[in-house]
Each structure stands twice: as structure tokens, then as C-alpha cells.
């Protein structure tokens, strides 16, 4: 049996259960993000090692087969320029995603700051609707 006092009031019970739920989620969320970060790092490391291993094998094959692997200057420039653009696009994409997330966080903070005001306004509206009926009894 729970140490929490039992109540028959639906709203109190609802609030207690919602609070328990969010307390639990608050504890679990950092663990989830840590696991997701570790997974992402392992995926990136695996991709990098796999690509490096594949290039090494191809390089060894080309060397033993006597294949010329020299790249013309024009092709070198195109490859380097393309890579720079990919890196730059990745950086811009990351900045846009971070800005969107930061803006969303700020919007939630603003909403959270105003939830009580909205609730109070709604209570006043409900009171104004109920008051005429409460006095007619």
C-alpha cells in the first residue's frame, strides 16, 4: 500500500498521480539522453572506422594491382570544395536545429510562466458564469 494518503476526490487523486508520473520521467529522462548520446557516438565511430577500413582495403588493392590513383588538380579542387560545402551545410543545419530547439524551449518557458495566469483567467470566467446561477437558489 502506498504511503500516500488515499483520497476519494478525483482532482486530488489526478494531481497526485500526474505528479508521480512527472517525478519519474524527470529521473528517467537524463538516463535516456545519456544512452541516446552514447548510441549516436558509437554509430559515428562505427561509420568512421568502417569507411577508413574500406578505403585502406581499396588503397592496398590499388597499390598491389598497380593502379594509378593520382587525381588531377581540377578534380582535387572539386572534391575539396564539395567537402567544404558539405561541412558548411552540416554546420548551418546544426545551427538552425539548435536555434529551433532553443526557440521552442523559450516558448515552453513563456507558456509555463503564464499557465497560472491563464488558469486564473479561466477560473474567473467560470465564476462569472456560475455566480448568476448560484444566487438564484
- The tens digit of pLDDT for each residue in 19-64 reads 999 999 999 999 999 999 999 999 999 999 999 999 999 999 999 9
Domain ranges in the chain are: 1-69, 71-137
Model confidence pLDDT, tens digit, residues 78-113: 999 999 999 999 999 999 999 999 999 999 999 999
84's CB contacts (< 8 A; 6+ apart) are none
Of 132, 114, 113, 112, the residue nearest 122 (C-alpha) = 114
Model confidence pLDDT, tens digit, residues 66-81: 999 999 999 999 999 9
Alpha-carbon gap, residue 7 to 11, rounded angstroms: 9
Confidence of residue 8 (pLDDT cuts 50, 70, 90): confident
* pLDDT over threshold 60, residue 6: yes
Alpha-carbon gap, residue 6 to 88, rounded angstroms: 59
Amino acid at each position: 500500500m502506498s504511503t500516500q494518503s488515499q483520497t476519494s476526490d478525483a482532482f486530488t487523486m489526478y494531481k497526485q498521480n500526474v505528479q508521480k508520473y512527472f517525478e519519474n520521467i524527470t529521473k528517467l529522462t537524463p538516463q535516456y539522453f545519456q544512452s541516446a548520446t552514447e548510441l549516436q557516438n558509437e554509430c559515428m565511430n562505427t561509420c568512421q572506422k568502417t569507411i577508413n577500413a574500406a578505403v585502406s582495403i581499396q588503397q592496398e588493392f590499388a597499390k598491389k594491382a598497380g593502379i594509378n590513383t593520382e587525381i588531377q588538380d581540377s578534380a582535387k579542387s572539386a572534391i575539396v570544395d564539395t567537402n567544404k560545402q558539405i561541412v558548411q551545410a552540416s554546420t548551418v543545419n546544426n545551427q538552425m536545429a539548435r536555434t529551433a530547439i532553443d526557440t521552442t524551449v523559450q516558448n515552453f518557458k513563456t507558456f509555463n510562466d503564464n499557465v497560472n495566469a491563464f488558469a486564473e483567467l479561466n477560473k474567473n470566467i467560470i465564476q462569472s458564469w456560475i455566480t448568476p446561477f448560484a444566487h438564484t437558489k
